[in-house]
Amino acid sequence: MTRKYFGTDGIRGKVGESPVTPEFILKLGWAVGKVLPGSTCGKVLIGKDTRISGYMFESALQAGLSAAGVEIGLLGPMPTPGIAYLTRTFHACAGIVISASHNPYYDNGIKFFSAEGTKLPDEVEHAIEAELDKPLKCNESVALGKAIRISDAAGRYIEFCKSTFPSHRSLRGLKLVLDCANGATYHIAPAVFQELGAEVVVLGDQPDGLNINKGCGSTHPTWLQKNVLLQKADLGIAFDGDGDRLIMVDHQGNVVDGDELLFIIAMDRWRQGTLNGGVVGTQMSNLGLEHALGRKTIPFLRAAVGDRYVMEKLLGENWILGGESSGHIICLDRTTTGDGIVSALQVLAAMVHAEKSLQEMREGMTKYPQVLLNIKLKNHVDVLADPRVKTAVEMAEQELADAGRILLRPSGTEPLIRVMVEGQDAGQVETVAQELADVVTTALQA
């Protein structure tokens, strides 16, 4: 079935524009409450990142859920993976996240977790969409849901994060710079790394509702790079606005992306005999990762772009480790969803165990040059079916042969067509990517 509102990661858009409006979010809360198993549901937890519209949508969701008779637990600002964890530990029937992840403050969205701390099954999303088409009917006053604010949510999640780091090791002697993106990790991440013994310098921990992801965080690493060098730190860690992804910076200021972090974690698990299978990447994962794992005979599979597809393939293969180039890494031997803090701790545990720097840990994987161009999509034209685009792709693939890859795909979260080209020759990659982008742009203008 085609989804009307849900994308690959919940519902997302510009605040004030359909469907991200107070009226719709209120009805969404009601629809979720009607689809969940009624009086046996227990609580639904609501958490949010730090963007200003979170207050408005928290209230709207609370009203809708209450109208449907569901009890509510309010977590306040909390990383997305923290909401997944608390949904499990509170035995809630669902967790709701108000966040637009790495997007600017003027966007927002709603994501859901099941009682197990995983993404909602497709059939549940379809049922919610069907309920949204019905008129909202409020319960009688005696059957309205109540709401409580959970005051110790942050402390519970901090302790969980620390528990994913080996108890017999510590971070003493390491100096870290953290960039919290003025987002949901601002009051969580510093405590986790400090309590494990690291010396911590913190950036991006002054959210004002408007500065989330603004020139900071995992999508804007320059600030972190400068401060790692300035502070003479061992490494830097940058999270995105809702804390489910990260990138790192080594002591020389070089960015270490999600593919390289996935490689480091995979090799540490492989050496310890705990990898239990292979690794799942995506269509965007660098060919260098696949080749590096292949040299150790570690299986590697590609999923469609999006953490839900990485998760599906992990569960289908009964593997534990997967991720995306963006830094969204899933360690199913530690938690149920992508978690920036937990993933960072796995990298640090590997470093401490090997007694090597981050720069040394990434050796063994050579990234191929990769160019990613984003082309704005003004309407819902299936440009990938255009004969001119198909022909251009075929010719480019013949030119690269076995030394590269091409991927054209629509973004799952923004009105963009993404053109990705990678190969061994940087100049050739750049030329091919620009030629393809020009053909796509021409097709869109037709």
The residues that are catalytic are: 101
DSSP for 51-117 reads -THHHHHHHHHHHHHHHTT-EEEEEEE--HHHHHHHHHHTT-SEEEEE--TTS-TTEEEEEEEETTS
Is 166 in contact with 354 (CB distance < 8 Å)? no
Exposure string over 7-23, b if 16+ CB within 10 A, otherwise e: ebbbbbbebeeebbbbe
Distance of CA 31 to the CA centre of its chain: 25
Q: Is 419 buried (19+), middle (13-18) or exposed (0-12) by CB count in 10 A?
A: buried
* φ, ψ at 72 (rounded to 5°): -130, 140
Edge-first strand order for the sheet with 279-282 is 300-303, 279-282, 321-323, 329-331
DSSP3 helix / strand / coil % (the chain, rounded to 5): 40, 20, 40
The total of other beta-carbon atoms located within 10 Å of residue 211's CB is: 18
For residues 430 and 399, give the distance between their C-alpha atoms in angstroms, rounded to a whole number.
13
Nearest to 429 by CA among 291, 318, 286: 286
Residue whose token pair is 């292979």: 278
For residues 207 and 242, give the distance between their C-alpha atoms in angstroms, rounded to a whole number.
12
For residues 348 and 353, give the distance between their C-alpha atoms in angstroms, rounded to a whole number.
8
Residue whose token pair is 């629809």: 31
CB-based contacts of 383: which residues, under 8 Å, 6+ apart?
Answer: 377, 389, 417, 440, 443, 444
Give, in order, the Cα–Cα distances in Å from 61 to each of 17, 64, 78, 126.
Answer: 17, 5, 16, 19
For residues 60 and 327, give the distance between their C-alpha atoms in angstroms, rounded to a whole number.
31
The total of other beta-carbon atoms located within 10 Å of residue 438's CB is: 14
Rg from Cα positions in the chain: 22
Nearest to 256 by CA among 380, 137, 343, 315: 343
